Structure 1
Amino acid sequence: MSDQPVSYSVLHQRAMERLGPPTVLIDHAFRIVHLSASAGRYLRHVGGEPSHHLLTLVNPALRADLRATAHEALKKDQTVQSKPMPFPDGGQSVQLRIAVSPFHDTDTSQHLLLVVFEELHGKNGGTAKTKQELLDLISSTDILTVLVDGSMRVKWFTPQAVRLFDLKPADAGEGRPLQDLPHRLIYPDLLNDVYESFKSLRVIEREIKATDKHWYLTKIRPYRSADDRIEGVIMNFVDISERVKAQEALREGVERLRLIAENTKDFAIISMDPTGHVTGWNRAAELIFGYSEDDMQGQTLDRIFTPEDRASGRPAEELRLACEQGHAEDERWHLRKDGSRFYCSGVVYPLMDGELKGYAKIARDLTDKCLEDYQQQSVLERWKETNVLKDQFIAIMSHELRHPLNLIQLNMELLARSPEIRTDPKAVAALDAVRRAVHNQSQIIEDLLDLSRVQTGKLKLQVEPVPVQLILHTVLDAVSTQAREAGVTLHGPRHDTDTANLIVHGDASRIEQIVWNLLSNAIKFTPTGGTVTVTLAREGDEARIDVQDTGVGIPSEAIEKVFTMFGQVERHTQGNHNGLGIGLALVEQLAQAHGGRVRAQSPGEGLGSTFTIWLPLAGHESPQEDHPMPSSSGTLEGLRLLLVDDSEEIVSMLATLCEMEGAQVHTALDGQQALELLESFDFDILITDLGMPVMDGYTLLTRLRSGSRNADIPAIALTGYGYSEKAQLVGFTDQLCKPVPMKRLLEKLTEAVTQRRTA
């Protein structure tokens, strides 16, 4: 050991050599002039002439990054670091980062470069790699992102950000102030929002328009570092132009519907808040009731009810029933502002959005029609007095309810064909909800009419051999969608030879109606996750059908009332499914019309129910062969069509829908106008309403068939009263009940034209 003192500068140099990161000192030609003891593991000697060139000696895995980093350091004359990179070291992979720093020695006037090899150990290396990968991922997306530090200077941005900001690559390194950064956003509060987000540590979200008319969802939020310090603010901009455009189209469509509702003359449309106070009163309401919108704004509907109805609490009862049943219908006498009485048909719907938002009432003045039908006498009193008047009342109610349902159905068909609507999932879901509601209301009307026909002996059964098992599987397929949407599992009867040969003599469509009502009822009153099971067996000389559910059950004291017309039993379900009490009454009547019987059983509330039908067997006859319907082409291209209806709204919308399918459409508002067109032009098919002023549909067809031109064209009757035997007698080839689904109408049109061409 030498006794000669050693200077601390030399000791410092030795410590750096042993403990510091490996380094290499090179000149601008990349020749090695000195290297630390530990730098050798990143270099290797190659065969051939000896070299001092660093790029020749460095490990090939590091060569490209070293070259790029060194050149950038020379160009910028400042320290430059490479990205972390994997480097094999003794069978393991370590993260390595290369830093190159220009070094100007004033004593020797030499210009050199110091190359530092820094191994990133443990968490820091992984964090750096993850952070870089995250930044690379964000940069590769279509999201526009700008990061500013606490002094509001640009720290980082994605390449896409240049679409909105005048940014250059150097702006991030130089820390360009945000306030000096030009942008293309119509956003005068941008800087204030950034300051506010940084100061209050809250997220600020806005929809902002740019000068190129694009819309952006802007989110401004504080930026936290890995050690949970607030280092700045990050701004994200997502292009939402297509969504804004779709929302605007939807708003315009809703506004058009609102204008139609406000300006219709036949139907009073009234909106109310949850307490029953008026918030909307259209022009038709002013004409029908005599009160202006200013008169009724903020008022209840008590003033339009008669004194006796007010005394009995009918206005509040109507709202209560609407909430409990999903709607409340009535036909009763009302009061105008001048004190005169008139007869009005109305329906009230609750407006729900998770909770009650208000009510909508649709009403129509039926005074003239009722006074004609019932010879100026009180409709309500006559309806209570005789069963005949009850049937007429049901028919009129059916007709008047079908008319607004038909308008809703046709408006829905028009909206469904709009490209803007088809691309908006919320609008499509809303249209599906309307479609289901129209179908359900139409089914209630059909059940009510059928029940009336059975009770008066007017229902005629088309009796033929009917395979019961085939009927069951047909109906199970029909209700499968309803069950799936309700979260209910269906189990059908097993396929075997014993049940396959069970044949009854009956009307196939009516037996389907019986089974459909029972299955639909079971699904309706079975909570999500429950099951509905259908079984078929022979019991003596009868076929026995059981529909068993795991639903809410029936109280023992209510079992006897389930088949009573309007005898609705209170059954507590997840939703509001209580109806009018018509379906099960119709099931019993139809079963008895076939010589059968029906029974309901339930162990009690919450324990499910079983409905059983027995139908007399006809033996083992084979069912009649099915005759397939003519296939529909799905288009009306070139079809010459005449539409006749006394409602301008219905005939206009129906014509538009048919024209969208390629038909050439003429329209008329009564039978006389239609006859004039039929005598002047050739048509392929006629569609006409039955009940019209001037000349009704029956007279129109009678005169058409007795003429010469167009006398043999197919004619389809539109009716709001249900199936009409008279229409068949005068020569109509088919009938459709309102509301008319467009799909059904297209099937009928193509069927009629195909039959005519093949005849």
Structure 2
Amino acid sequence: MSASFPYGDSAMAQAVRAYDWAATPLGPTTQWPSPLRNAVSLMLSSPESMYVVWGDALTFFYNDAYTPILGPRQPHALGAPLQELWADAWEAVRAPIEAAFAGRASRFEEVPIGMNRYGTPEDTWWTFSFSPIYLDDGRVGGAFCVTNEVTDRKVAQNRLADEHERLIRLFEQAPMFMAFLSGPQHRVEFANPCYSRLIGHRDVIGKPLAEALPDLVEQGHLHRLDEVYQSGRAYAANALAYNVQAEPGGRVERRLLDLVYQPIAGADGTVSGIFVQGLDITDRIGLERAVREAEVRNRQILDSVMDYAIIATDLHGLVTSWNEGAQRILGWSEAEMLGQTLERTFTPEDVERRQILIEAAAALESGSGMDERWHVRKSGQRFWANGSLMVLRDETGAAIGFVKVLRDRTAERLASEALRESERRLDALVRASSQSIFSASADWRELRQLVGEGALSDALSASLNWQQEMVHPDDRARLAEAIAHSIVNKTGLDVEYRVLDADQRVGWTLMRAIPLLDEREQIVEWFGTAADITDKRLAEQQLRQLTETLEERVRERSAALLLAEEKLRQSQKMEAVGQLTGGLAHDFNNLLTAISVGLELLQTRIEQGKYDRLERYVEMAQSSAARATALTQRLLAFSRRQTLAPTALEVQALVQGMHDIIARTLGPSIALQLRPAAAPWKVLVDAPQLENALLNLCINARDAMPDGGELTIAVANRVLDAGAAQQLDLPIGEYVCLSVQDTGTGMSADVMSKVFEPFFTTKPIGQGTGLGLSMIYGFTRQSGGHVRIDSEVGVGTTMALYLPRFDGVLAQDEAVPATEQPLRSTAPSCTVLLVEDETAIRVLMSEVLSEAGYRVIETAEGNAAVERLRSQETIDLLVTDVGLTGGLNGRQVADAGRQYRPTLPVLFVTGYAATAAVGAGQLEEGMEVLTKPFLAVDLERRVAQLLERKSH
């Protein structure tokens, strides 16, 4: 410790000792008055921050504890005048210092003083006291200050106060209700305004809860508070119902609350109270319910808009909502599209150019966007759509997604394009038209040409007297009458009239017009066309003149054509006969040889009296005659003119009946297979002709299999639809198919194209006439059917006959029995008029009929027969050849006979076609045809049948 004043080793004690006080008004420390020395010694030894000011100069002394307060002033503070040292704070301490020098002590708490200790202004707070220092003579020599900076504490207090104030405001302004309940009786210590509103602004502060809110107690909520208070465990509830009744007997308001009862415990864990906080969610739940209902309604509304696809997406284009209209238009369901990119509905080219980003950017910039372009359905089909894209925003205005609305405008686009194309064509048509298009006033007094030239003149377009100026005088009245009729009836005008040009030359105009009506069905205007038809009229006049001479020219031309046609037919006939000669002559020569040699041997054996082998020669002659008959039938079938005797039959039964004949014809090297139908239908055909056709097909198949093979005959029911019927050139319907299939050499396409031509054959000369397939084709077509051929070289051929199904019933006189025994007339005295120009045949027929018991009148020519028919002579039956020579033919004789004898039975005999006798193919009642050659028994049976029917 220093032995000199001031005593002590503190930094400021050393500083005071080291200071040159002799240079100051105070002088050396040894000369200081004792009150000053005592005050400085007390200050320097104190741990509290203190300072002393002395004398009029306010010389400044301070201790170590005060040093930090000085900051950068510290090196120059000792001995400095206080008012200079603390110039920035002088005004704050001036008054208490002056009071101390006046002998009055003072104390101040937390005084704010603005200071500039570190070069910048700052707010500081101080607690200090000033005491006067008295001299020995009682005067005040200085002031003693004990000071303490409380800035940090004051700032902390201010912050705490601010925080407390903020918490108070927060508590009071909180949207949640809050209250503090103390003690086991749950006395209300505090409640915020929200809590007060919840309970109806009742005065509850300081009251036990049971007294303050009896309605809460009645609803059983108090026991939950008791449980929390006693257990120390918090209680939470969601949507807890509380029926608020602010006044006894008053209105009850139901509220829904989310709340927490939080126990408040002391340091020892003892619960002293409960903090109640919660949220009245009544309005929120009501709003949520309303939102849900609104969402349901909106969804129903959206789904009911079936003509629009309404789609919501997020900002990245992922689908968040998809209505029923979107499913109908685009094809995807909502489940398929939720979370998927909307680009699935874009065309590949729009996806490639990132159209989704372009649309989003445009919508974000302007709020919405419109476009029309192609889109794609789930099926891949493109459709034209009108679309709009709107931005979805939250309550802050931030974009959260988009709403896309699409409408399928494909039909409108196609219609628009069609309309534009129609308008373009109409415009081109109008511009290319030689007609004038005009409009006229409702009363036709004004006429205005719109498009075209020629039929109307521009000079007359607005003339009130255009009818008088341009219409021929003789046609003005007729034109005016036509116009008046159209005006009265509001119908279109269509009239031709003559016009006069400037040179008084006559022309013709065709005027057509229709009225434009308003909503009251009144004529507003007329629109029409006027065409110059002068050339047409001249052409019609020339045509009439030509027509007057045309009939004669046509007759001359027709006669020339008929002559040329007849020559052509004769040429074709001669060509056909030439083609037929080779094979046909060979066949007939063989047959005639057998017949003539057989008859010659028969005559020789009779002359020799040798009768044992006569029957053989007769059979040989009859067999050759039968073969000649068959060849003749082939010729008639080729001509498509044979007389058919159709009957209802089952084709399958006919095939089965011919099995043995066909098998013998084929020989042992060919296997025969029959493929029957399960329930075969009937057909209406000539049975012998069908048998002949089937046998012919089998023979052709046999010849196509020289090394043997397999032949299949099949019968099947077929129903031909439109496609199949068209291929076969047949009507749609039901058919029986008879097919012959071989495994032979087959035919090329060229051969198949000619196979039905008359005389075409692939066989060597002398082995066939080429009439077989032609006959089959003609017979099948006459029967209402068709022949189909399928063939492949090296595989085989299938010939199929399609015959129409017959499900009717034949008349008694139309049926042809399969086998009949000769009938003997029940009227042997009947008279038969026989007309035949071939003497040998007439004699033989007369002998057969006479042998049968009939009276026969013979004649060789038609005129004599008609004379007989015109007479009163008894004639019961007319038998006449069709092709009589030298007068009337057989049909003419029959027709004449029917005039005199209407019920006279007629039997036509013909060696050629039935055309002359049958005409269009139908025989009159009581008429029949017998074709040559025939047997005596055939003639006898047919005559007996006709007379038998007549007798009934």
Q: Normalization by structure 1: what TM-score?
A: 0.37
Q: Which has the larger radius of gyration?
A: 2
